[in-house]
Structure formats: C-alpha cells, structure tokens
Amino acid sequence: MTDRAPLLLVRGVEKRFGSVVALRSADLTVRPGEIHALLGANGAGKSTLVKILAGAISADAGTVHMNGEPVRVRAPSDALSTGVATVFQDPALIPDLTVDENLRLTGVEAGPVRETLDRIGLVGLDLDAPIKEIQLPVLRVLDLARALVHDPHLLVLDEITAALPADLAQRVVEIMRERRDRGRSVLFITHRLSEVLRVCDRATILRDGRHVAELVPGEGGEDRLVEPMLGEVSAAVAEPPAPRAKAAEGGVVLEARTLSSREYLNGVSFELRSGEVLGLVALEGQGQDRLFDVLSGDRPFDGGDLVANGAPLRARSPFDAIRRGVVLIPSDRMLALLPKRSVRENLASALYNRVSRWFSLLSNEEQLVDDVIERLTIDTRAHREARRLSGGNQQKLAVGRWLAAGFRTLLCFDPTRGIDIRTKEQIYTLLRGLADEGSAILYYTSELAEIPLICDRVLVMYGGKIVHEQAAATADEAMLLRAAHGLQEASA
Amino acid sequence: MTVAVAARAPAGIRHWLARYGWTVGVWLLLFLLIGWYATLIPSFGSFTIASIAKNSLPTVFLAIAQAVAVIAGGIDLGAGAMMVLANSVSARFMEGQAAGTTAVIAVGILAGAAILNGLVGWIIVRSRVPDIIVTLATLFVFSGVALMVLPAPGGGTSGGFRWIFTGSTSGIGTNFWPSLVALAVPTVLVALWLRRTSRGLSLYAVGSDPDAAYLSGVKTARAKITAYAVAGAFAALAGLAITAITATGDPRFTNASNGTLNSVAAVVLGGIALTGGVGSVVGAVAAGVILFVLYPILTAMSIDPNTAQVIRGVLIVAVMMAAGLLELRRRRTE
C-alpha cells in the first residue's frame, strides 16, 4: 500500500521574497487516499508552500508533480484543473458580495454547497447575507464547502481549524475522513498536534524552509512531532544570558483581567510589573495580534477589564492609550515612523501629543530630542530620512519617539523580525536598560530563542488564552513550543 | 461555543436596504426634484419630459461608464474624452448619410471604443501604473484625436439616428418614449449583467478585494480589462447621444473634462464607493439625471448660472455628508 504512486510529489521547491528565503528546499509527498499533515513552527514555510500549490505565487526552483505529471499552476484559476482545491487561512470570499453571489462568481451551484453546509451542521445559513457580516468560522466552513463541490483529488486546508469552535472543528475532521474513505487526499496544515495524531496518516515537517522529517504521527507521541520543528541552538544565541538582578519588584502597571474580544480573545489575564520584560509566545493566529491591538487602544474589547496604573483603561483610540503611557512598537517599523522625515522630526512627532502650548513646544523640542538621540546613540549623520536608516536604528527611533514623549508601558510586537543578530543585541540592551529604569515591557516574539535573552517571565498564548507562565530563565524552546501547541500537561 | 448563523429576523429586508437603500433614496430625490420642477414652470407636460429624458442621456451613459470602472476598483478619467471622440467621429462620418449607414457607423464606433478602452485596461493591468494616471493620459490623448478628426464644431447625422435617442427626426418634440427606452434598456441590461453573471460579478470582486478574488480563482486581469471595455462603450454611447441630440460634433476639451468630472460626481452621488466593489449602476443613473435636472430647475428659479454651479457643488457635498452621518449612526447602533 505504501508503494502506490504518489498523488502529489514536490521536490526541491525554493522561494525567496527579496532577501528573505521562505523555502530553501521543500519536499512533500502525498499519496492517494491519505490525510497528510504539514507541520512546522512559525516561518517554516508552510503557507508559502501552500500558496505555490494553489498557484497564488510561483516557485523560484523545484518541481511539482500531480499523478506523475509535471504541473505548473500559473494562477489560482488554473489550480482546479490540476485537481487541487485550497482553503486558505483567510477565506477567499468577497466581502461586499453575498454568499450566493460569491458562489455564482466562482461558477459553483448553490444547491450542492447548501447540502454540504447542512452536512457540516451549518443549517440555515442565509445565502443572501453579505460575506462581511458573517463570522470567520462560518466563512472558513463555507469556503470548505465550496471547495468540496469540485471533488478535488487533493484538498489543501490551511489552518482551517484555527479559531473554529470545537463542534465545527470536529465536523471538519469528519469531512476529511470522508475524503480519505473515498480515495481522495487531504493536505492538512495545522498547529493543533492532537488533531494530527487523531486523523493524519503521515506528516511532513518543515523547518526554516527545508524538509526535515516525514513520519507517521500515530507512532510515538506529540514529542516526536515537536522535536524536528526545533532548530539546533544557533551559535549566536549560544552565549548564556548574563545573570540579571532579579527584576525589581515594581508595582503592577498594566493588568488584564479575563479580556475577551470577538472570537480572538477568550479571557486573557496577566499582570505586567514595572521593571520587567514580560515575554509572550504564541503560534500564528492564537490571538496575539488582537491582544496587542486591544492593549494599544486600536480595537475595543468586549469583556473583562484592563487596568493601567491602578485605573481602568478603556481606550477608544491609540491616542487614549498613549495618554495613559501605554505605547506600541509594531514589528513593521515603517508603520511607526514617518519614513520620509528626518530623525529629529520623527522624534519630535510624538511630542505634539503631549505639549499643548505651541510656544513651549518650540523652546523645548530641541532639548528633548537632543537628549534622546544621545541616549540611544542613534546615528543621525546628515539628518537622514528615517527610511534610509538601518533596521536597528529605525527600531531605536521607534522607541526613542516614546522616550521623548514619556511612557510607562511599552508593547513590543515582534520588534526584531527581519533584523540581523548584532542589531538584535542592541535592541535587547536598549529594552533591558529601559526596564531597569522602571519601564514595563510586554514583548511578543516569534522567535522562541529570544525569550531567555531578554525576558524575566514568559507567557504562552494558545486559542485566545494565556495557557502557560514561567520564569524565562528556566524556559527552554521545547517546553515553550509544546505549550504553544496547547500541550501543557498541567493546565496553567 | 456555538456560532450564530441566523441573524435577526427581518434579515432579508435588512440586507436589501443595506445594499439598495441608497439607490432607492437617490431615485426618490430625483422624483422629488422633478415634481418640484413641475410646480416651478407653467407648463409641465410631455415636451418637458422628453426634454429631460433626452438631454440627460449623455450624463447618464457617462455615469454608467464611470460606475462600471469604479465598481471594478478603477477610475476612468478618459471617459469624458471618449465621449467627445465618439461625438466627433460620428458627426464627421454620419453627415449626409442614410439612416442605415449611420446605424452601422454607430455600431462600429461602440465596438471600436470598447476595444480601445479595453486596451487602456490592459495597459493598466500590465504596467501596474495606477488607473488614475493612465486614464488621465487618455483624457488628453482622446481629446487630441477628437480635434484631429474634427478640428472645429460641425458635422451632422441622419434623422433616423436622431429619432433613436430623441423620439424625433428633428431632435425636438413631445414623444418621450424612445428617450426613456434609450435610458432604461442599457441601464437594466448592464445592471443585470453586473449582478447576475459571473463575469459581471468578477468586476465587483476585483473592486472589493482583489486578493480574495485572485485566490478564489477569478481572472482579475480579465475582469479589469472587461470593466474598461464596457466603460469605453458606454462613454461612446454618451457621445452618440450628443450627436443625435445636437446633430453636431463638438471636439472642445472642456466638454471632455466637464464630462469626466460630472461622471465622477454622478458615481459618488449614486452611492458607488470610490474604493470599489460597492454600489449599483442604477443609483448612478438617477444621480446622472439629477445632476442634469438641476440646471433647468435653477434656471426656472432664475438663479444665475454661476451661483447655480456653487449650489450644485454644495448639494453634492451635503448629500454625501448626510449619508455619511446616517452610516455612522447605523454602525453605532449595530
């Protein structure tokens, strides 16, 4: 049975986006009539590979065969003719059109979709409702139903069960089994290892854009799946973290009590103290984006409480949060800065919120900005435009703006993404220094190895909740990755 | 956790109002204005109706052209120039021809305009230069070509051709039915095509969310090119209507630029989002007629033409602001 000709054969696929290598050498073999898991940590290249199979992007090198025939999908509109139907993480449905119009748009009859929806348990979905008024879980299932109508040889499901309520997730699993029983195959991308163990026949694991393992999930436990996802400890990180003075037992400056927001946050609670760097770790799509949006005032929350410096914080916009000293450093530095303005102008921009009298601003600005530049040792040669600075200097500038304006709490969302190791160290030093002076820092990172380098404590988020907490010094990557997959044995 | 699929009870009505409420509102405003106009002038009858119907045709067709481009996430600043070009070419070549020949020329112009503007769409898609820049260029190019074809106002057409748009071989009369049919038939056809066929829906799709459209298998380039081709044909139809109404061609640039600006105003007033994917051509048609009807109304109120321009502008902004306030309130209560 294992010798049957493969349905899908991917060999040596490479893809780079500018200087970032998403896939180095991806191999994948899916046999007819199997449910195949595609696993890997954040940034391993899973989504890139899915997009290549779907024809949304094209590979730089490598081959893809379906049923022994070489295929080159030029556009998603060609994918169905190769027998591949993909359900993306973000449903490919048009927000301003109704369900019915979306089906007609893609040449799908409403009848069979309705039947499939009934089977999945979404009875009575209003086909005349515009997509933008329908909740994400329903849209995922709708997208799945639409793909099923084509009866594809290979159904690719990218994180379909993420943010799905348990009953719907179970139905989706049943649908996958049905496909297998009919001799069709499913490629299942997920972070939920328990589902992999339960339903998948085989699993391929990617790490840093490379194929690192192919195994049968049923043989051995979850650890056998997690292990290959972890990289070797990189040389740059090998240096043991300098022993730190225990974080000053500062007071709580930001406290979340059972925060909830739509389906993304389901009761997030934590305390952030002055003088500490609190790490946050999560796989993609576990609600961390929404948490930072809520904390920084960009989006409202539905339930729970947020307390800043002892008083409730219900920000209607980032302006309110900033006034209360809660400021955000996003991972996209260009979002935080005025890219075409000089360093000085960028630093001064945050002051306008604080200084109400223009005359005092004019007299004060120079001095404040000078202080910050000196403190952060920002390279200000020729008063260059912010966009021409190096990534590290840009990030310093993003922090520096708030330094000039004053803040108590710094929310850092993956601030070292795409930055080289030397600059990362500068940012660690900067943030550590700020914490030692009494600032409170919440630090989300997609790189687990950063946690022991900069954080005092670490939280792990999974399914819109904090599921794990521990001292950063005792955290190792395997432990965090297990927790991030929701595998915590003793529930936190 | 269960997922609430069923919305509040009168979901059907709510969805219909959310989508077509604006369109209904614009049509009500139009009938209100016409009713008011009827009380302003001593003799409101079939002559007045015929006059309004035929004279609003160019604005309406141009509004449809712009609406189709904007719905697909683009904008066609060259639409006014395409109208002037079609007007100039038709007046030049239809002069002294029999009715049958003029009809053939008209069909040829429509087809040519569709192909030409489809080419513009292709350039936009392939070059990735923003729509607004490419079509700004075509505004000048088409205007220039119109002046080459017809250096000064002039030309003519057949009586039969005039009848199709005006209901009279002399262009003036009381028979308003042909004008109404000329207004209604293309409107209904293009509205049905846009909402009922997969090709038409693909225009809404690329305007609403190009990425989702692409991923769901829509041929986004083809949709955009189709939008510009249809827009070109409707802009040319506006030009043919001018030829039929005035029996001359007028290649002056101000006609082109005014036409484009009016069409954008009609699209906005008609409830079509300039960001694409939202709105109905039916609303833009009513808005087109409103923008025309304001002239005779303000004239009947003996308001001087310069003040009339100011009032027109203020009205557009006032309607948009009122609608914005309503929308804001709706979102707050939801």
For A409-439, write each residue's pLDDT tens digit. 999 998 887 676 667 788 888 889 889 888 9
Per the CB < 8 Å rule, is B201 touching A97? yes
Split into its structural domains, chain A has a count of 2
pTM above 0.90, yes or no: no
Query: Based on the number of CB atoms within 10 Å of its own CB, is A314 exposed (0-12), middle (13-18) or buried (19 or more)?
Result: exposed
Residue A135 lies inside a defined structural domain of this protein = yes
Per the CB < 8 Å rule, is B15 touching A129? yes
What average pLDDT does range A186-210 have in this prediction? 89
Residue A203 lies inside a defined structural domain of this protein = yes
Residue among B57, B66, B107 at smallest CA distance from B86: B107
Residue A490 lies inside a defined structural domain of this protein = no
Per the CB < 8 Å rule, is A91 touching B209? no
Q: Taking all residues of chain B, what is their mean pLDDT, rounded to a whole number?
A: 91
Is the model's pLDDT at A223 over the cut of 50?
A: yes
| Domain ranges for chain B | 46-319
Q: Are strands A409-413 and A440-444 parallel, antiparallel or unpaired?
A: parallel
Shared domain for A261 and A118, answered yes or no, is no
pLDDT tens for B99-131 read 999 999 999 999 999 999 999 999 999 999 999
CA–CA gap between residue B85 and residue A86 (Å, rounded): 46
Q: What is the largest CA-CA distance in chain A?
A: 81
What average pLDDT does range A295-316 have in this prediction? 89
Q: Which amino acid is at A29?
A: T
Shared domain for A367 and A466, answered yes or no, is yes
Shared domain for A425 and A283, answered yes or no, is yes
Give the 3-state secondary structure of chain A.
CCCCCCCEEEEEEEEEECCEEEEEEEEEEECCCCEEEEECCCCCCHHHHHHHHHCCCCCCEEEEEECCEECCCCCHHHHHHHCEEEECCCCCCCCCCEHHHHHHHCCCCHHHHHHHHHHHCCCCCCCCCEHHHCCHHHHHHHHHHHHHHCCCCEEEEECCCCCCCHHHHHHHHHHHHHHHHCCCEEEEECCCHHHHHHHCCEEEEEECCEEEEEECCCCCCHHHHHHHHCCCCCHHHHCCCCCCCCCCCCCEEEEEEEEEECCCEEEEEEEEECCCEEEEEECCCCCHHHHHHHHCCCCCCCEEEEEECCEECCCCCHHHHHHCCEEEECCCHHHHCCCCCEHHHHHHHHHHHCCCCHHHHHHHHHHHHHHHHHHHCCCCHHHCEHHHCCHHHHHHHHHHHHHHHCCCEEEEECCCCCCCHHHHHHHHHHHHHHHHCCCEEEEECCCHHHHHHHCCEEEEEECCEEEEEEEHHHCCHHHHHHHHCCCCCCCC
A165 Cα to chain B: minimum distance (Å): 6
Shared domain for A225 and A257, answered yes or no, is no
pLDDT tens for B171-207 read 888 889 999 999 999 999 999 999 999 999 999 999 9
Shared domain for A143 and A64, answered yes or no, is yes
Q: What is the DSSP letter of B95?
A: T
Q: What is the largest CA-CA distance in chain B?
A: 76
Is the model's pLDDT at A306 over the cut of 80?
A: yes
B304 Cα to chain A: minimum distance (Å): 43
Residue A218 lies inside a defined structural domain of this protein = yes
Shared domain for A292 and A435, answered yes or no, is yes
Residue A399 lies inside a defined structural domain of this protein = yes
Shared domain for A219 and A279, answered yes or no, is no
Shared domain for A59 and A154, answered yes or no, is yes
CA–CA gap between residue B249 and residue A171 (Å, rounded): 66
- Do the beta carbons of residue B62 and residue B234 sit within 8 Å? yes
Q: Which of B15, B198, B219 sits opposite A104 (nearest CB)?
A: B198
Flag whether residue B70 sits within 8 Å of chain A, measured between CB atoms: no
Per the CB < 8 Å rule, is A133 touching B7? yes
- Do the beta carbons of residue B98 and residue B158 sit within 8 Å? yes
The helix/strand/coil state of B102 is helix
pLDDT at A231: 63
Q: What is the DSSP letter of B276?
A: S
Per the CB < 8 Å rule, is B277 touching A96? yes
Test the A interface: residue of B201, B274, B327 with most A CBs within 10 Å:
B201
- List beta partners, residue A413: A444
pLDDT tens for B197-246 read 999 999 999 999 999 999 999 999 999 999 999 999 999 999 999 999 99
Residue A128 lies inside a defined structural domain of this protein = yes
Residue A467 lies inside a defined structural domain of this protein = yes
Q: Which domain holds residue A310?
A: 253-484
Per the CB < 8 Å rule, is A94 touching B216? yes
Per the CB < 8 Å rule, is B214 touching A76? yes
Q: Which of B5, B217, B277 sits opposite A122 (nearest CB)?
A: B5
**Domain containing A137 — which CATH number?**
3.40.50.300
Q: Which amino acid is at B295?
A: Y
Place of tokens 């792990």: A460
Shared domain for A414 and A457, answered yes or no, is yes
Q: Which amino acid is at A392?
A: G
Copy the structure tokens of residue A379: 């390279």
pLDDT at A64: 94
- Position A2 confidence tier, pLDDT thresholds 50, 70, 90: very low
Query: Which of A229, A264, A284 is the endpoint of a domain?
Result: A229
Q: What is the DSSP letter of B152?
A: S
Shared domain for A103 and A190, answered yes or no, is yes
Shared domain for A409 and A479, answered yes or no, is yes
Residue A406 lies inside a defined structural domain of this protein = yes
Copy the structure tokens of residue B255: 């006609």
Shared domain for A306 and A449, answered yes or no, is yes
